[in-house]
Structure 1
């Protein structure tokens, strides 16, 4: 439809609307929220105002009276709303949330908060041309599952070792990060490691972890990190490095990066490593704060970096775990 420009504006907006309603309904279904996505404006309005007539609801939401009447009739049948007849004028009545409706709105609140975060990320762009902006919004909304992104923020996240089913996500997440921040500084080494984590990391004594939300089919991967022992480590001074720390943009702000980094630090500590190092870029302010908070200290590069984008080298001294004296 894009090729026809503004002549298909209505159709494109309806396509977006229909898609969003379907996605929101899927989220409600997964979270056992007993409401329809189409009910939300009326439910939210009544939650804030207490009670209103059908005409007042229609006026406040700029909807037609018949449309609101049809919706509220369904909502009364589903026990979400209750009708109160005016004792002074039997022709007048008002609607308010039932106890069941109030409970449903309380249950949906955390879902709405996470949905708001994801949608704000999708719409956080500027454009001087409305149609160009619409095309970008379509790519954001239609190009991925809103439901999956919101559920990634709502449901428990586990940190597990990489399995073959996670390989594509390991590549996609890290490549998306590189293309966003360093599109002109993607090294051949990046592509080799991301395409072959088993051969390039695990078979060389390293470990790759992924942050996942378990699903019935393929796990939803929202974060990654890798650890590798350094080849020049002396037996009494084992050194390791962490790399490929990434978190999907829609899942950021949930502490996933910290959990991934803590997993790597704990693994290195328990494995008898004395120093853990990493390379980063000075422009990555949030990453730098994370590393500072976890005790990494900036030092001079011991060797030239393989990556042109890396201008910061950091190390963390680890407290070695020693066996307890059985006596």
Structure 2
């Protein structure tokens, strides 16, 4: 439809609307929320106001009176709303949330909060042309599953070692991060490591962990981190490096990056490493805050970086767990 421009505006908006309602209903179903996604505007309005007439609901939501009347009649039959008489005018009926409706809105609140975060991330872009903005929005909303993204924020996340089934996600997540922040500075080394984690990391003595949400089918991977030893022997302290820390944009703000980094740090402690290093970029303020918080200290690069985008080198001295536990 995009090829016909503004003449298909109504159809494109309806397609978006229908898709979003289907996705939200799927989320409600998976989270055992016993209401229809189409009820939300009326439910939220009555949750805030207490009680209103059908006409008042229609006016405040800018909907037709017949449409609201039809919807609220259905909601009354399902026990979501209840009808009462206006104390000041017995000829006037008011609608309010039933006990069941109040309970449903209480249960759905955490879902709505995470849905709001995901949708805000999808709509955070700038464009001076509405049709261009609509195309961007369609790309964000229609590609991938809103339900999966919301569930990634709602359900428990496990940190596990990389398995074969996770390798594509390891590549896709990190490549998406590179293309967003450093589209002109993706090195051949990046592609090699990301496409061959078994050979380039695991068989070299390293580890890769992924943050996953367990599903009935394929695990939903929302974050990654890698660790590699940097050498050392009987007379030299063991040093390691952490890299490829990435979290899906829709899942950020839930502590996933911290859990991944903590997993790598704990592994290094347990394996007797004395120091961890990493490279980052000064423009990545959130990443720098995370590393500072976890005891990494900026130092001079010991050798030129392989990556043009890396302008910050950091180290963290490790105290062996046996020593920490005795303090």
Short-chain TM bin: over 0.9
Deviation, 1:231, is 2.8
Instruction: Identify the residue that residue 169 of structure 1 maps to in structure 2.
Output: 169
CA spacing shift, 1:93–1:232, aligned 2, 3 Å: same
Q: Deviations over 1:57-106 (max 9, x none)?
A: 11111111111111111111111111113477664211110011001111
Task: Provide the residue aligned with 1:253 in structure 2.
Answer: 253
Displacement after TM superposition at 1:232 (Å): 4.6
Specify the alignment match of 1:73 in structure 2. 73
Is 1:216 the counterpart of 2:216? The answer is yes
The whole-number CA distance in structure 2 between the counterparts of 1:234 and 1:115 is: 53
Structure 2 residue aligned with 1:21: 21
Counterpart in the other structure of 1:266: 266
1:55 aligns with 2:55: yes
- Indicate how the Cα distance of structure 1 residues 243 and 309 shifts in structure 2: closer, same or farther if over 3 A, else same: same
**Do the aligned partners of residues 323 and 293 (structure 1) sit closer, same or farther apart at CA in structure 2, a change above 3 Å counting?**
closer
- The 1:64–1:317 alpha-carbon spacing in structure 2 relative to 1, beyond 3 Å, is same
Match of 1:202 in 2: 202
C-alpha distance after superposition, 1:156-179 (max 9, x if no partner): 111000011110100000000000
Counterpart for residue 11 of structure 2: 11
SS in structure 1 opposite 2:170?
Answer: helix
Task: Report what 1:148 is aligned to.
Answer: 148
- Segments of structure 1 that go 5 or more residues without pairing to the other structure are none
1:31-55 Cα deviation digits (max 9, x unpaired) = 1111101000000011011111111
- Provide the residue aligned with 1:284 in structure 2: 284
2:190 matched to 1:190?
yes
Check conservation: 2:161, 2:209, Cα contact below 8 A.
yes
Q: What is the distance in 2 between the residues matched to 1:41 and 1:235?
A: 68
Distance 1:87 1:323 in 2: 73
**Within 5 Å, which residues of 2 pair with 1:235-254?**
235-254=235-254
**Cα distance in 2 for residues equivalent to 1:276 and 1:67:** 62
- Structure 1 distance, partners of 2:33, 2:213, is 20
Q: Distance in 2 between matches of 1:38 and 1:317?
A: 55
Structure 1 vs Structure 2 CA RMSD: 1.5
Alignment of 1:220-235 (within 5 A): 220-232=220-232, 235=235
| Partner deviation per Cα, 1:182-234 (whole Å, 9 max, x = no partner) | 11110111000000111110111110000001111001111000001113555
Q: In 2, are the aligned partners of 1:209 and 1:224 still within 8 Å (CA)?
A: yes
Aligned partner of 2:120 in structure 1 is: 120
Once the two structures are TM-superposed, the CA of residue 129 in structure 1 deviates from its matched residue by: 0.6
Q: Distance in 1 between matches of 2:205 and 2:182?
A: 28
The answer to whether the 8 Å contact 2:276/2:318 transfers is yes
Q: Distance in 1 between matches of 2:93 and 2:195?
A: 65
Residue deviations 1:221-250 (CA, integer Å, cap 9, x gap): 110000011135555410000000000001
* 1:124-143 mapped onto 2 (5 Å cutoff): 124-143=124-143
Show the counterpart of 1:304: 304
**1:98 alignment partner in structure 2:** 98
Separation in 2, partners of 1:63, 1:142: 26
Structure 1 length as normaliser, TM-score? 0.96
Contact kept, 8 Å, 2:81 with 2:97, in 1: the verdict is yes
Structure 2 counterpart of 1:35: 35
Task: Write the distance in 1 (CA, Å) between the matches of 2:289 and 2:279.
Answer: 14
Aligned residues of 2:231 and 2:238 also touching (Cα < 8 A) = no
Cα distance change, pair 233–244 in 1 and its aligned pair in 2 (3 A): farther
2:208 and 2:227 in contact (8 A); partners too:
yes
The DSSP-based 3-state class of the residue aligned with 1:73 is: helix
Aligned equivalents of 1:17, 1:235: Cα separation in 2: 65
Shift of 1:323: 8.8
| Conserved? CA contact 1:233–1:239, under 8 Å | no
Classify the secondary structure of the residue corresponding to 1:253. coil
Give the match's secondary structure for 2:222: strand
Equivalent residues, number = 324
